[in-house]
Chains A and B, each alone.
Chain A
């Protein structure tokens, strides 16, 4: 059978998509999963709008703003209250210390721009930063992400690599406050 030129191009195009660049359908799937998974809830800072706090989509998924230096977290009294949260919903303090929502945009220096897909998948499997470092800290729900199929995990990564890159260096996590 001889393929016509357009068919050949289409076949070649499909191969290229499979080999490297994710297809639009995969990216759309990733966008859907990020939306329903609530990734924006912590990774997109809140700003004050006319009706109260709302996601600042100009900083979509860029994590805790680097220019928002947090003061020491308040110490809660003994009791059932356990966690405090910044007004941006991007910084959290609890028994594990202080954690900051990561920059998920494809910025090479401060986001996922220099991560490989394998590192992203290994982060999910291991629950460790970059798949090999410190534990990914609360409130990030790694088990939920781990429950997704590998195809869906890859789709999430593909989508995150497709969104606008925002340079924003998120602080390193802080140790728990030591009681004296």
Chain B
């Protein structure tokens, strides 16, 4: 049962010692309302020397609750039980909304209606690891960029910080983040971009695509990197995103992103698909994120067109 994971201090009451948070660039999950909490064992802290790969103390627990149409559907649970060992679990809420039961490793299909004829599935453990990693597990959505006090006001589906939610500033003040660079709060993480539209577009790609498309865990044959610290971000400062790698996978292949031409950008085609063979992201969503497609279309259309290499 979810109630045995330590989330609650009393039936249905989240323990006030857990830290609620809201990433500035949320992952698209078919419009689900989400609540998130993290627990760090007393006396421990996150090792923040690698800004892109925080190391969490053993005993860290993270919960993420999903609701559709005002009803809690599932809570996902991550628990660090050893230096390199994490437990993954998903809990399905009962009809009375009083507690949630552990779902088998295969996940559960048709857990809730996310939209007309579109069912939300509770992911399998294998799917959890597809995004969170195998050997080096990451707590997605809880990073220096996601908790930065320099919050993007134009973030797609951005959530307002509620009173009491943890930020990077709080983590430092409460000594819950150690070994981070000295000027972390003077120069908080921010996606470098020459326009607000580019900033929010790259933030969206970082949150929704970069758990797989990243240079430190390359997908064979793809050479695509959407992490904010990486090549794509730096190139955002260049007029027209000129680099051929971003634009085409290889000579003769369709353009991934054709500045000035959203209709010729494969990225948008994949984002707009919910057919299993072509949709992106490939899991965790059954509905197209239309506001994001619209934003990225406008952004790509606004980029100066450059000659095809």
Contacts and interface: CB of A to CB of B under 8 A. Distances in A.
A131 B130 CA distance: 7
A118 B277 contact: no
A22 interface: no
Interface residues of B, number: 21
**Is chain B's interface secondary structure helix, strand, loop, or mixed overall?**
loop
Nearest to A98: B277
Contact of A174 (B134, B221, B277, B279): B277
A132 interface: yes
Given A122-B126, A122-B129, A126-B130, A134 B279 contact: yes
Contacts of B195: none
* Interface bin, chain A: 20 to 34
B184 to A, nearest CB: 31
B102 interface: no
B277 A137 contact: yes
Given A173-B278, A175-B273, A133 B126 contact: no
B100 to A, nearest CB: 24
Given A128-B282, A128-B283, A173-B277, A133 B135 contact: no
Contacts of B282: 128-129, 132-135
Contacts of A115: 220
Nearest to A107: B221
Nearest to A129: B282
Interface string B262-290: 00000000000101111100110000000
A130 B213 CA distance: 12
Contacts of B130: 122, 126, 128, 131-132
Counting from the closest, the 7 A-B pairs by CB-CB distance are A114-B220, A126-B126, A132-B130, A173-B277, A175-B275, A134-B282, A97-B277
Interface of B: 124, 126-127, 129-131, 134-135, 212, 218-221, 273, 275-279, 282-283
